[in-house]
Amino acid sequence: MLEINNLHATVAGKPILNGLSLTVPAGEVHAIMGPNGAGKSTLSYVLGGRPGYEVTGGTVTFIGEDLLAQEPHERAAAGLFLGFQYPVEIPGVSSMQFIRESLNAQRRARGQADLSGAEFIRLARAEAAELGMDVDMLKRPVNVGFSGGEKKRAEMVQMGIMRPRFAVLDETDSGLDIDALRVVGAEINRIMRGPDRAALLITHYQRLLDYVQPDRVHVLAAGRIVRSGGPELALELEREGYAEVA
Amino acid sequence: MTALALPTRKDEAYRYADLDALGRVWADLAQAREIVVPAGEAHSHVLLAANEAVEVHRARLVIQPGASLDLFALNGAAEYGRIEMDVEVREGARFTLNAANIAGGKATQEIVTHVRHTEPNGTSNQTVRSVLGGTATGSYLGKVAVARQAQKVDGEQSVKAMLLDRGATANCKPELEIYADDVKCAHGATVGELDPTQLFYAMSRGLPPAEAKALLLEGFVLQLWDDAPEDRRDELVEASRALLRRVAA
Ligand SMILES: Nc1ncnc2c1ncn2[C@@H]1O[C@H](COP(=O)(O)OP(=O)(O)O)[C@@H](O)[C@H]1O
Ligand SMILES: [Mg+2]
């Protein structure tokens, strides 16, 4: 579903990704782990097409298409979802409006009809309930006044409503207490597990992987994948630290 | 009616005006509207100035003791829009102005207020948001004058402008003229641009660039209308949306 081949990228002229290769087949969940500053968030922004993150070499193919040739909103319509490490606040715009307009823009790009107001509210209510979130939270401005954990849960509600084919979740586990972690883990399984979906979990710690069993674990260091393995690699990293393993 | 001479740029209140456009309507311009809010009454008023290419609105308002006036004004004329008011705030009276300039292309829009606190215990609160694209100019010239005998007055001005293009200009001039010594007055003015992180977040969710911009701008402007009279609020919201979509495109 996602094939990254020898990807190089710079930020503000500084090389951050240095020949990163990674393939995530449909139906699988992969984890990327690595020390601070390794380039994990940079990878997620490059996949999302964030301005300022310049690709200087390599290719990325997403569901058979050249991902890097697409604008950020086209990538979303193609089924890519980015869970932000630091979800962004948008004052004055309710989550309801934000998500509805985004979803309808995606649907239009795919040649589907807009969801009506009533259809959307029904969907939002159901997805918020799955997360144990009061739907009234979604009437508030996007992420404004939310705690760190609430922001991460709100990202999962967006993901549930949008039903992407592929999710890149950047440290979705940070800022969550153990109960929230369990709920979010269950949500990732519910939303992203399936024969024609896949996900890439970026995480610092093993603990999220107790709830979302990855098919493969990769270690990112200095902008490249330096090791890959099965779920046991995450445990080994937890025990021995990145310096030993990578 | 004696025809007054067209103002010139030397006149401080017309410093940023489009005098050519003003000249075209000057002869037919109605006299300033006189509105008196009777003592103890609470009124609200909506001014939607976004239909003609040139819109000039002038008013003289008197808010009698203990009365209040909430004014909601949308300035959106395609060529030249000017909303000008002289407001007298009497004892214990309250004046609130929520206003927006939304201008693209080569438009000039301005909101010019002169709020005079002539008696004690009055409150005035002005919130102005400007969204400016193309080579448009948007101005807020707001003078708050507090007379010597007008103690315990509270006068606030919050002025923010958002520039969408390099060629757009914002003039923000909140001004205080205070002769009383026991008053609380505050003003803040900021000029900024759309936040690239917010824009990327919105686009990453599927919004094309112009739609993402328009949505962020709605967040910047539409809060002005939260307390507008219920029967006019939708109209203000829809007119603002249409104007924002045009300047963001
Ligand atoms: N906007 C930026 N400007 C300059 N350097 C950046 C920027 N964003 C990230 N970096 C640098 O890129 C490297 C990788 O950062 P990041 O991708 O955030 O790492 P991780 O998510 O793995 O902690 C770091 O050295 C960081 O300082
Ligand atoms: Mg990071």
pLDDT in tens, B71-129: 999 999 999 999 999 999 999 999 999 999 999 999 999 999 999 999 999 999 999 99
B174 contacts B205 by C-beta, under 8 angstroms: no
Whole-angstrom Cα distance, residue B41 to residue B27?
A: 35
C-alpha of residue A43 to centroid of ligand 1, in Å: 10
The amino acid present at A113, given as its one-letter code, is: A
Q: Is residue B229 part of a domain?
A: no
H helical segments located in chain A:
40-48, 72-77, 95-109, 117-130, 148-162, 178-192, 232-240, 242-245
The boundaries of the domain holding residue B79 are 12-192
Q: Is residue B197 part of a domain?
A: no
What residue owns the CA closest to ligand 1's atom 24? A37
Percent of chain A whose pLDDT exceeds 70: 99
Q: Residue B172 pLDDT more than 60?
A: yes
Q: What is the pLDDT of residue A242?
A: 78
Q: Which residues line ligand 1 (CB under 6 A)?
A: A 11-12, 14, 16, 34, 36-42
Whole-number Cα distances in Å, B165 to A52, B33, B162: 19, 35, 9
Whole-angstrom Cα distance, residue A152 to residue B238?
A: 32
Q: Residue B31 pLDDT more than 90?
A: no
Q: Is residue B170 part of a domain?
A: yes
Q: Is residue B186 part of a domain?
A: yes
B248 contacts B133 by C-beta, under 8 angstroms: yes
Domains, chain A: 2-87+147-245 (3.40.50.300)
Q: What is the pLDDT of residues A212-235, one digit of tens each?
A: 999 999 999 999 999 999 999 988
Q: Is residue B59 part of a domain?
A: yes
Q: Residue B2 pLDDT more than 80?
A: no
Q: Is residue B222 part of a domain?
A: no
Q: Is residue B173 part of a domain?
A: yes
Q: Is residue B23 part of a domain?
A: yes
The amino acid present at B12, given as its one-letter code, is: E
Q: What is the pLDDT of residue A204?
A: 81
**Interface contact A102, partner B, CB < 8 A:** yes
Sign (positive/negative) of CA torsion A52, A58, A62, A67?
Answer: positive
B204 contacts: CB under 8 Å, gap ≥ 6? A48, A49, A50, A72, A73, A75, A76, A82
For chain B, the average pLDDT equals 94
Whole-angstrom Cα distance, residue B14 to residue B188?
A: 22
Q: Residue B1 pLDDT more than 50?
A: no
Q: What is the pLDDT of residue B175?
A: 87
What is the count of structural domains for chain B? 1
Q: What is the pLDDT of residues A156-187, one digit of tens each?
A: 999 999 999 999 999 999 888 888 899 999 99
A51 vs B196, B216, B221: nearest CB: B196
B211 and A158: CB-CB below 8 Å? no
- Closest Cα partner for B94 from B144, B45, B40? B40
